[in-house]
Chain A
Amino acid sequence: MTFSSELEQRFAKMLACYPPGKQRSAVVPMLIYAQDEVGAVTPELIDEVAKRCGVEPLQVDEVVGYYSMLHREKLGTYHVQVCTNISCMLVGGEELYEHARKKLGIGNKEVSADGQFSLEEVECMGACSWAPAVEINYDFHHFVTPEKLDKLIEDLRKKQ
């Protein structure tokens, strides 16, 4: 498997930053960055990461099952993550999540038919003082209201 030159550069740097013989350490960062480019953690990607980090594919596979941001199935182009943990819940996070479900017409960890959006009810993502919070891919949005979320989604739809 080959990746973009930018990612290849990142991986080369990554593998070199751990002590000699400890390249297994690159497994998690490599998976998450590769997932962003490939779209999902595929069996081929697992084999590739295993090869590059000098471990067995099974050792990579067991890691994939543990981390909630690693996905074996493709997410939408825009992965909408709505936090409903306690700080967000107190100021409307659960209602916001319900609103997102209706707006996108999909449930938790589902992908829209056109592949454009996926939705996830997530745990605390560190935006408690600016709640309720939504993260779309890696972009944080704070003090999100249903109206604000509608606009975010509409703007992304227009970008298609």
Chain B
Amino acid sequence: MLYNEPSPLETRILSRRFGMEDSASLETYLTTDGYKAFLKAREMKPEQIVDEVKASALRGRGGAGFPTGLKWSFVPRTSPKPKYIIVNADESEPGTCKDRLLMEYDPHQMIEGILIASLAVDAHAGYIYIRGEYRYLIEHMNRAIADAYAKGYLGKNVAGTGWNFDLHTHSGAGAYECGEETALLDSLEGKRGVPRMKPPFPAVAGAWACPTLLNNVETYSAIPFIIREGAKAFAELGTPKNGGTRLVCISGHVNKPGVYELPLGFNMIKAIEEVAGGIPHGRKLKAVVPGGSSCPLLRAEECDIPMDYDTLSKLGSMLGSGGMVVMDETTDMVKVALRIMRFYAHESCGWCIPCREGTTWLRKILQRMVEGNGRREDVALLGELSKNMLGRTFCALGDAAAMPTISIVDKFAEDFEKYIVPEAVLV
């Protein structure tokens, strides 16, 4: 059973097997083009695979939107060290719930994507880092992996091509920070998930100080289509420099929340109104989190836009991880800001002081305002504090906490008015 009804407006490329009988089985996968892409890639030179991924205009689906082919080209494939493939399945960005479906309904699509990546960077082992809360998916992936081993699609002589590749799952244990790639690597190595100084980038010195290719579940899942149907076919689904489709997770105030596969460049208002069934009770749109809670929020009047990385970037926001949170006119943006900050303060690993102290103080100030002790100068203080966190931390968590806060303070100043009281006391 699917978690939500599909929409006729979807372009189902990565999710084409969702809803099929036994969609997660290797048999279903093999009868629906499974492993054609791997066999094709086996005949290609590694550079050709990388070039194909570059030409597809696929950009990282974890959040940063970095061009995938370019990332692949950074891995020194001729290095004498072992190379590793890591899958970031730590899906933790608030608003995001798509990787779950890709692993649950079509685990072999991701496995094939991983195998193609292994050809491109000459890796022979890979690890899928899955967040601890997704225990059922760890077991589910273990079964899919075991089946692939049993039938010759993992291990020695993959699909009879002489290629060797081992794949394993690895459980996280509850830490948003481990979705950041270098923190994930420390976690994989059995340590606290604290981000590393970059450079060196993981491509050069990642897992166990070896060259490492690290991508999101959805990114790997897009690879089989790109190789099988060609880069052009994928690129053309989207807009220039924004190839393909992506799984958009629509949540919040909509009639039909769900995960829908939409081409890059799909209009945001259309996604809310037509794909997700509009806002309940005839209410008006107030704000949208475009791609997970780290992204600056958009006001309703900013939302009539194509959803692609560059348009969102021009608006000072991000397409992020595909987690789109819709808020209607009744939403109290100060409470939203507080909830977002409670999250970041909880998840800050404490390594960098601007993040550790910044998130904590932003949370305290917002909490005090909501509790009835807001001062007029607090609004400016929230903005100033946030802006001072930007770019001053090892990883993006500090920025991720600051950016939505800045956008709420700047764009929804009127929401703060009712929390400003002349007799406010600092407690």
Contacts and interface: CB of A to CB of B under 8 A. Distances in A.
Contact of B189 (A22, A62, A70, A91): A22
A152 interface: no
A29 B175 CA distance: 13
Given A17-B168, A91-B253, A129-B249, 18 more contacts: A24-B190, A27-B191, A28-B171, A28-B172, A28-B190, A63-B190, A86-B339, A90-B251, A90-B327, A123-B346, A126-B91, A128-B96, A128-B97, A128-B323, A128-B325, A129-B4, A130-B3, A130-B4
A63 B4 CA distance: 37
B193 A66 contact: yes
Contacts of B346: 123
B192 to A, nearest CB: 4
B174 interface: yes
Q: Interface residue tally of chain B, by bracket?
A: 35 or more
Given A17-B168, A91-B252, A28 B336 contact: no
B331 A129 contact: no
B224 to A, nearest CB: 24
Nearest to B326: A90
B339 A84 contact: yes
Given A90-B325, A127-B97, A69 B173 contact: yes
A19 B189 CA distance: 11
B331 A124 contact: no
Contact of A85 (B134, B174, B208, B339): B339
A87 B322 CA distance: 13
B384 interface: no
Given A123-B346, A129-B249, A130-B257, A68 B174 contact: yes
Contacts of B131: 126
Contacts of B187: 28
B331 A126 contact: no
A25 B190 contact: yes
Contact of B133 (A22, A53, A59, A125): A125
A25 B189 contact: yes
B191 A63 contact: yes
A31 to B, nearest CB: 7
A122 to B, nearest CB: 8
B170 interface: yes
A138 B170 contact: no
Interface of A: 17, 19, 22, 24-29, 31-33, 53, 55, 59, 62-63, 65-70, 84-87, 89-91, 123-131, 135, 138-140, 142
25 contacts: A22-B208, A24-B190, A25-B188, A26-B190, A27-B190, A28-B173, A33-B171, A59-B190, A63-B191, A66-B175, A66-B349, A67-B175, A68-B174, A69-B133, A85-B343, A86-B340, A87-B94, A90-B251, A123-B343, A124-B92, A124-B94, A124-B176, A124-B293, A126-B100, A127-B97
A130 B97 contact: yes
Nearest to A70: B173
B95 A124 contact: yes
Which of A27, A59, A90, A123 is the most central at the interface, judged by chain B CB atoms within 10 Å of its CB?
Answer: A90
Contacts of B151: none
B347 interface: yes
Nearest to B92: A124
Interface of B: 3-4, 82, 91-97, 99-100, 125, 127, 131-136, 166, 168, 170-176, 187-193, 208, 249-253, 257-259, 289, 293, 323, 325, 327, 331, 335-336, 339-340, 343, 346-347, 349
Contact of B92 (A27, A28, A126): A126
Contacts of A128: 94-97, 249, 251, 257, 323, 325
Nearest to A13: B168
Given A87-B325, A124-B343, A130-B97, A32 B173 contact: yes
A29 B171 contact: yes
Contacts of B127: 17
Contacts of A142: 3
B293 A135 contact: no
A24 B190 CA distance: 5
Contacts of A139: 136
Contacts of B259: 129
Contacts of B343: 85-86, 123-124
A53 B190 CA distance: 9
B287 to A, nearest CB: 11
A89 B337 CA distance: 12
A66 B347 CA distance: 10
A67 B172 contact: yes
A29 B170 contact: yes
A27 B166 CA distance: 20
A142 B251 CA distance: 13
Contacts of A26: 190
Contacts of B82: 19
Contact of A86 (B134, B249, B325): B325
Contact of B97 (A55, A66, A89, A126): A126
Contacts of A62: 192
A87 B191 CA distance: 30
Nearest to A135: B133
Contacts of A59: 190-191
Contacts of A138: 133, 135-136
Contacts of B136: 138-140
